[in-house]
């Protein structure tokens, strides 16, 4: 082991790739802005937390307990922010490790030098990870502030930095493997972001399912799940001593789970994730070192090499000529981007998975669960004119028992101790209930009336709260994927033509800048329309099912799973936000010289804007029960999705869903709907202004870059 460590160590100090990249990138203005922005975000979080703490204590110092609690909360916020920034910045610095050398025509020269495979691979990877690790080290003084008032253990800070460093290393190793094995190009950054979003959010949603929570020795379910050890954000949550998400001790596990590696994975998920990611980094980087020059000598991709080894060939293919739109540039952007085999598989895979998930959620929500008792009553069981209640009782001679309800009959709903009486029974008796009933008998044992009735709502296989949560999570993932897809496509639409020389050919034709830019924008939006249809379809089938429930009046305490106005607002919002991301990406693609820089800036701006608008929107919604919350929240796409899909959780007070009358709820919904239409109009004005600016400055920008 010491010999292996000494070998890797000797590769680094005299590695010219490591020194060249560090020396050149340290002088770049963009990298300086990234470092300043990273530290600026952390400092802003600290200042905001201190200001909020001072406001909550009225400007006083507060007790030591309050200060320690505030310090612990600040540490949690900083840890989540640091991990999120690492997940965002690590692909930027590592994704172009080999492909950037190949694009600049220096890769072949690099292979012709006496450098070994290990020096090339490790130098390229560590030179880019150097900046990520430097960012983590630069944040240590900021995290040290949390130690002033106590409440945060040094061990927790070390674990937080370990999780972030492990995430950075697995990202760098995976980027190198993708680049060396020729399964990634300039779009590696986009693929990284897409994978990170789907993986992080997907495992977070799966963590909420009881199916993935393991049983303890006592028979109870653990608060953590199998996914906790594979998601850095879930692993980070376990180090905060959150009683609702606390991993069990190894002694609390059953005997079969106390063995290695399950014991460490279940009892110490943060440490297991850190060790596993470092090990996987070594596993991924080793084949890259071994096969670097061998793979560089062939021009075949990994798929072509596998097909050749298996002696498989696709043969000659022909297809019918396709009809081009009136604007060929729009047609090219909309059709050719999705015509490649990989793009087709990903596109239709996204549509299939999204639609299947929505159908599965509706079916689970529509399935009635197991009632608490075999006895039941329905909406027609109570005859109010004769005050007679019919209870269906399996095992009785007629299968039903019909008895009068008197003033002395006690009526309860659920486990509540309150007697709702006859009026309450008449008001609440909608749909089907399971009941436990007692019969009042006379001295001779003859049934005279109902003594007590306790009605239980029959649960669904998927409760409405869980259905909203999973639907909202799926909508978040789908919106994030749509934004990443359209931003990546837009950011490369002009720079790609600059790099391959086709832009000069286009500019020599009679095509005007207005025709060119409008065609690009229209084509990009048309390209993501099938993806936008997925969340719209998911919301629509829930609305249709809810509408069917209202016709049958078969559900007690009916509440919409998704507000019906969402069928109008969500498509408008998705189209306008996609168009905004497209025009923003086109702006960066026009101004930047390289595709990598345009993609990085575009994705960073989109993520920053969505994060800022979402944070402001949720802060306003949780501020109080004023109707201004839904109005201002409509300007943020993620906040609007939360309001329309899961208002009970994110906007209960703002919509008056907790204790306000229906009129207040209706007025808040109307205000949110009108505000949503106005917000989409403002988005349209911004898009039109950016479009006009691009048309006006197109020729001048192209001429400046041609110098």
Q: Would you put residue 138 in left (φ > 0), alpha (ψ -120 to 50) or beta? A: alpha
Smallest Cα–Cα separation from 666: which of 573, 567, 568, 565? 565
CA–chain centroid gap for 406, Å, is 55
Residue 537: what pLDDT? Answer: 93
Average pLDDT value for residue range 433-449? 80
Check pLDDT > 90 for residue 30. no
Check pLDDT > 70 for residue 681. yes
Show the tokens assigned to 297. Answer: 């000598």
Residue 76: what pLDDT? Answer: 85
Residue 319: what pLDDT? Answer: 61
Check pLDDT > 80 for residue 517. yes
Tell which wins on pLDDT, 560 or 161: 161
Per residue in 108-160, pLDDT tens?
777 777 777 777 777 777 777 877 888 888 888 888 877 776 667 788 888 89
Check pLDDT > 80 for residue 248. yes
Residue 20: what pLDDT? Answer: 54
Q: Is residue 403 part of a domain?
A: yes
Residue 29: what pLDDT? Answer: 60
Q: Are 415 and 552 contained in the same domain?
A: no
Domain boundary among 457, 486, 515: 457
CA angle 469, 200, 47 (to 5 degrees): 90
Tell which wins on pLDDT, 301 or 621: 621
Q: Are 478 and 333 contained in the same domain?
A: yes
By the 8 A CB rule, do 277 and 169 touch?
yes
What is the residue-averaged pLDDT of the chain?
A: 77
Check pLDDT > 90 for residue 580. yes
Domain limits for position 560: 328-367+462-594+612-705
Residue 515: what pLDDT? Answer: 87
Pairing relationship of beta strands 388-392 and 382-383 according to DSSP bridges: antiparallel
Domain boundary among 296, 319, 343: 296
Q: What gap in Å lies between CA 86 and CA 389, rounded to an integer? A: 64
Average pLDDT value for residue range 279-283? 89
Smallest Cα–Cα separation from 630: which of 612, 656, 604? 656
> Which of the residue ranges 151-165, 203-217, 634-648, 658-672 would you say has the lowest mean pLDDT?
658-672
Show the tokens assigned to 467. Answer: 């259905």
Q: Is residue 651 part of a domain?
A: yes
- Tokens 């800036």 sit at which residue? 601
Q: Is residue 301 part of a domain?
A: no
Tell which wins on pLDDT, 500 or 137: 137
Average pLDDT value for residue range 457-477? 83
Q: How confident is the model at residue 489 (pLDDT cuts 50, 70, 90)?
A: confident
Per residue in 57-112, pLDDT tens?
555 555 666 667 777 888 888 888 888 888 877 776 766 665 666 656 666 777 77
By the 8 A CB rule, do 489 and 581 touch?
no
Residue 216: what pLDDT? Answer: 87
Q: Are 188 and 78 contained in the same domain?
A: yes
Q: Is residue 429 part of a domain?
A: yes
Number of domains in the chain: 3
Q: Is residue 602 part of a domain?
A: no
Tell which wins on pLDDT, 200 or 508: 200
Q: How confident is the model at residue 685 (pLDDT cuts 50, 70, 90)?
A: very high
Smallest Cα–Cα separation from 636: which of 616, 666, 665? 616
Per residue in 309-321, pLDDT tens?
666 555 555 566 7
Q: Are 432 and 544 contained in the same domain?
A: no
Q: How confident is the model at residue 364 (pLDDT cuts 50, 70, 90)?
A: confident
Average pLDDT value for residue range 243-271? 87
Q: Is residue 315 part of a domain?
A: no
Show the tokens assigned to 510. Answer: 């009679």
Q: Are 129 and 220 contained in the same domain?
A: yes
Pairing relationship of beta strands 433-441 and 447-457 according to DSSP bridges: antiparallel
> Which of the residue ranges 28-42, 430-444, 559-573, 601-615 would you say has the lowest mean pLDDT?
28-42
For 109-143, give the DSSP string: HHHTSS--HHHHHHHHHHHHHHHHHHHHHHTHHHH
By the 8 A CB rule, do 542 and 462 touch?
no
- Tokens 């269906």 sit at which residue? 392
Ranked by mean pLDDT, the top range of 46-55, 140-149, 234-243, 389-398 is: 234-243
Q: Is residue 152 part of a domain?
A: yes
Helix or strand run (H / E) with residue 376? strand 376-377
Q: Are 426 and 567 contained in the same domain?
A: no
Residue 541: what pLDDT? Answer: 92
Residue 9: what pLDDT? Answer: 41
Residue 1: what pLDDT? Answer: 35
Domain boundary among 457, 481, 514: 457
Check pLDDT > 90 for residue 10. no
Residue 274: what pLDDT? Answer: 92
DSSP state of 494: T
Q: Are 493 and 407 contained in the same domain?
A: no
Length of the chain: 707
Q: Are 508 and 551 contained in the same domain?
A: yes
Q: How confident is the model at residue 52 (pLDDT cuts 50, 70, 90)?
A: low
Q: How confident is the model at residue 11 (pLDDT cuts 50, 70, 90)?
A: very low
Q: What percent of the chain has pLDDT over 70?
A: 76
Check pLDDT > 50 for residue 559. yes
Q: Are 359 and 408 contained in the same domain?
A: no
Per residue in 178-209, pLDDT tens?
777 655 445 555 666 667 777 887 888 788 77
Q: Are 389 and 487 contained in the same domain?
A: no
Q: Are 654 and 687 contained in the same domain?
A: yes
Q: What gap in Å lies between CA 63 and CA 362, rounded to an integer? A: 50
Q: What gap in Å lies between CA 676 and CA 668, rounded to an integer? A: 12
10 Å CB burial of residue 538 (0-12, 13-18, 19+) is buried
Q: Are 282 and 186 contained in the same domain?
A: yes
Q: How confident is the model at residue 422 (pLDDT cuts 50, 70, 90)?
A: low
Show the tokens assigned to 641. Answer: 């999705």
Q: Is residue 657 part of a domain?
A: yes
């Amino acid at each position: 082991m010491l010999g292996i460590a000494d070998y890797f160590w000797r590769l680094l100090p005299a590695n010219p790739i490591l020194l060249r990249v560090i020396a050149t990138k340290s002088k770049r203005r963009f990298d300086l802005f990234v470092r300043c922005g990273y530290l600026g975000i952390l400092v802003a979080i600290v200042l905001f937390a201190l200001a909020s703490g001072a406001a909550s204590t009225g400007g006083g110092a507060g007790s030591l307990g309050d200060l320690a609690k505030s310090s612990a909360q600040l540490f949690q916020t900083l840890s989540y922010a640091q991990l999120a920034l690492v997940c965002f910045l690590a692909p930027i610095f590592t994704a172009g490790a080999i492909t950037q050398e190949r694009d600049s025509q220096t890769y072949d020269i690099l292979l012709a030098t006496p450098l070994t495979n290990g020096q090339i691979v490790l130098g390229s990877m560590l030179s880019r990870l150097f900046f990520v690790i430097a960012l983590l080290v630069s944040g240590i003084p900021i995290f040290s502030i949390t130690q002033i008032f106590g409440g945060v253990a040094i061990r927790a800070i070390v674990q937080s930095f370990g999780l972030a460093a492990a995430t950075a290393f697995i990202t760098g190793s995976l980027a190198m493997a993708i680049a060396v094995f020729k399964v990634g190009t300039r779009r590696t950054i986009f693929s990284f972001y897409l994978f990170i979003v789907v993986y992080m959010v997907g495992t977070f949603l799966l963590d909420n399912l009881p199916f993935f929570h393991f049983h303890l020795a006592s028979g109870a379910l653990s608060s953590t799940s199998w996914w906790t050890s594979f998601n850095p954000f879930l692993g980070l949550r376990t180090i905060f001593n959150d009683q609702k998400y606390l991993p069990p001790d190894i002694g609390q596990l059953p005997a079969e789970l106390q063995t290695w590696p399950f014991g460490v994975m279940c009892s110490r998920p943060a440490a297991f994730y850190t060790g596993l990611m470092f090990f996987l980094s070594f596993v991924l980087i080793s084949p890259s070192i071994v096969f670097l020059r061998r793979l560089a000598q062939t021009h075949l991709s990994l798929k072509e090499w596998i097909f050749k080894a298996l002696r498989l060939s696709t043969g000659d293919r022909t297809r019918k000529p396709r009809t081009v739109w009136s604007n060929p540039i729009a047609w090219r952007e909309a059709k050719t981007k999705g015509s490649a085999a990989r793009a087709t598989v990903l596109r239709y895979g996204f549509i299939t998975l999204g639609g299947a998930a929505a159908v599965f959620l509706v079916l689970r929500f529509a399935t009635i669960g197991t009632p608490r008792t075999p006895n039941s009553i329905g909406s027609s069981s109570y005859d109010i004119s004769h005050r007679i209640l019919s209870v269906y009782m399996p095992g009785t001679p007629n299968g039903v028992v019909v008895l009068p309800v008197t003033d002395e009959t006690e009526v309860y709903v659920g486990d509540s101790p309150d007697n709702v009486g006859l009026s309450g029974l008449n008001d609440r008796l909608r749909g089907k209930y399971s009941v436990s009933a007692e019969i009042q008998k006379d001295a001779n044992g003859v049934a005279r009336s109902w003594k007590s009735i306790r009605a239980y709502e029959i649960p669904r296989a998927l409760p409405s709260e869980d259905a909203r949560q999973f639907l909202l999570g799926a909508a978040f993932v789908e919106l994030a994927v749509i934004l990443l897809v359209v931003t990546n496509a837009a950011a490369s639409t002009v720079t790609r033509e600059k790099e391959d020389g086709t832009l000069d050919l286009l500019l020599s034709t009679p095509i005007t800048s207005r025709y060119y830019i409008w065609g690009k924008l229209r084509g990009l939006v048309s390209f993501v329309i099938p993806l936008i249809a997925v969340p719209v379809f998911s919301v629509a089938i829930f609305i249709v099912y809810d509408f069917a429930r209202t016709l049958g009046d078969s559900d007690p305490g009916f509440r919409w799973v998704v507000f019906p106005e969402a069928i109008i607002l969500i498509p408008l919002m998705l189209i306008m936000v996609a168009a905004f991301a497209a025009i923003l990406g086109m702006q960066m693609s026009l101004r930047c010289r390289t595709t990598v820089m345009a993609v990085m800036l575009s994705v960073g701006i989109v993520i920053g804007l969505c994060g800022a608008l979402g944070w402001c929107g949720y802060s306003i919604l949780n501020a109080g029960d004023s109707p201004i919350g839904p109005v201002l929240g409509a300007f943020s796409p993620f906040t609007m999705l939360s309001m329309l899909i899961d208002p009970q959780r994110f906007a209960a007070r703002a919509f008056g869903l907790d204790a306000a009358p229906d009129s207040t709820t209706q007025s808040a919904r109307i205000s949110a709907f009108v505000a949503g239409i106005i917000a989409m109009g403002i988005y349209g004005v911004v898009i039109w202004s950016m479009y006009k600016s691009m048309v006006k400055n197109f020729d001048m920008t192209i001429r400046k870059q041609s110098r």
